Amino acid sequence: MSAPTCRFCNAPLAHTLCDLGMSPLCESILAADQTNQMEPFYPLRVWVCRQCLLVQLEQYVSAEHIFTEYAYFSAFSTAWLEHARSYVAMITDRLGLGPQSQVIELASNDGYLLQYFVERGIPALGIEPAANVAEAARKRGVETLVRFFGTELGAELAQAGKRADLVIGNNVLAQVPDLNSFVAGIAHVLMPTGTATLEFPHLQRLIEGNQFDTIYHEHFSYFSLLAVETIFAAHGLTVFDVEELWTHGGSIRVYARPTADGSRPVGPRVHELRAREEALGFRDMATYAAFEERVRETKRRILELLIAAKRAGKRIAGYGAPGKGNTLLNYCGIRTDFLDFTVDRNPYKHGRFLPGTHIPCFAPDRIDAETPDYIFILPWNLKDEIMKQLAHARAWGARFIIPIPEPQVI
């Protein structure tokens, strides 16, 4: 078998960040009649490109296969809506946006973010490939185009005079198999003085926080600032500012402009983060190689904790059914022998089964009905919000298991 090549620069890939074995697609939650059918599993091996430093998976399935009918609706998380609302207030002020401006969001999901621009009377267009999710956005009054974004659509919009003062891409860059087409499309659709802001999980936080569960097939790439600057520069875009965010266990938001627009110099936060990544060894392959043993040790510790609880006759329920949870459950081999069931606020998932492990998923009130001894929080990045919602479970003595960065019982 020939070695895979980098999706950005085409160099052969020879270095591994970690190998999580075989795993199903993490958002392909199953209906009851599918649990008796063959399920596809794909390798979950993460490569590092020595040349451009892009950390990536090989592509086993098309983006169309993953994202045309999608189970993730952003509007079900309160903390996420608040994050969107405060971003809109900040960026409207910073860029002086108004009724004469044009905002375009790529992978706009259910309109959870653009609704706040619409409320302010700022023209907004969402581009979202999943038809079921785009329909939810239209019901919120958000104009949404059901298409995949890339060079072709970017050029089409520019030709039609639909160029943007602000292009937004939140948690989409990692999910794009053809990075070059996507970033070139942003360059097409951006006004000469326009700004693009993109948010994505930060590779530094993934490695430091031992967040191996944020690796799944729907995330094709994992970014350091070093890699993003290289990719954007190749398409005539310059990163001029960066912010570090709490979302998804630690993300960064980059601000990019056309390189030809020299009116906004590269700011101190970009220089500082670049220097930090270099000091942490992000140009050195040995830094990446050390991650895998930490991941294996975390798996052993999670299993020790669950085995001890089960041997003591305790009942364990899951909370949440996020993509990351499915990576963790499949890599650790946790099925209904450990977790009786899980619950989720998204009604789309009720009465269905998690991919690979076939753990059943119910509405949150199932926890109150069953009163488990332990509640295993799969979306650990929202643990504070979830423990607050479930504070009443302490009345029957329930304790919470947080698996990442290190397994702990609260």
The yes-or-no verdict on residue 246 having pLDDT over 90 is: no
- The pLDDT tens digits of the residues spanning 155-180 come to 999 999 999 999 999 999 999 999 99
What are the chain's domains? Answer: 67-284 (3.40.50.150), 291-409 (3.40.50.720)
- The pLDDT tens digits of the residues spanning 99-129 come to 999 999 999 998 999 999 999 999 999 999 8
Q: Kindly report the backbone phi and psi dihedral angles of residue 50, in degrees, each rounded to the nearest multiple of 5, phi listed first.
A: -65, -30
Pairwise CA distance, residues 125 & 80, whole Å? 20
What pLDDT sits at residue 78?
Answer: 78
**Strand pairing of 360-362 and 352-353?**
antiparallel
Band of pLDDT at residue 70, cut at 50, 70 and 90: low
- The pLDDT tens digits of the residues spanning 340-386 come to 999 999 998 999 999 999 999 999 999 999 999 999 999 998 999 99
The packing angle between helices 179-189 and 225-233, to 10°, is 60
Asked whether the CA dihedral 398, 403, 407, 410 is positive or negative, the reply is negative
Structure tokens, 45: 């091996």
Pairwise CA distance, residues 332 & 326, whole Å? 10
- The dihedral over CA atoms of 245, 185, 219, 317, expressed in degrees to the nearest 10, equals 60
Band of pLDDT at residue 65, cut at 50, 70 and 90: low
Q: Who has greater pLDDT, 241 or 83? A: 241
The packing angle between helices 268-279 and 225-233, to 10°, is 120
Its pTM surpasses 0.85: yes
Contacts of 144 (CB under 8 A, 6+ apart): 108, 111, 125, 126, 127, 128, 134, 137, 138
Band of pLDDT at residue 262, cut at 50, 70 and 90: very high
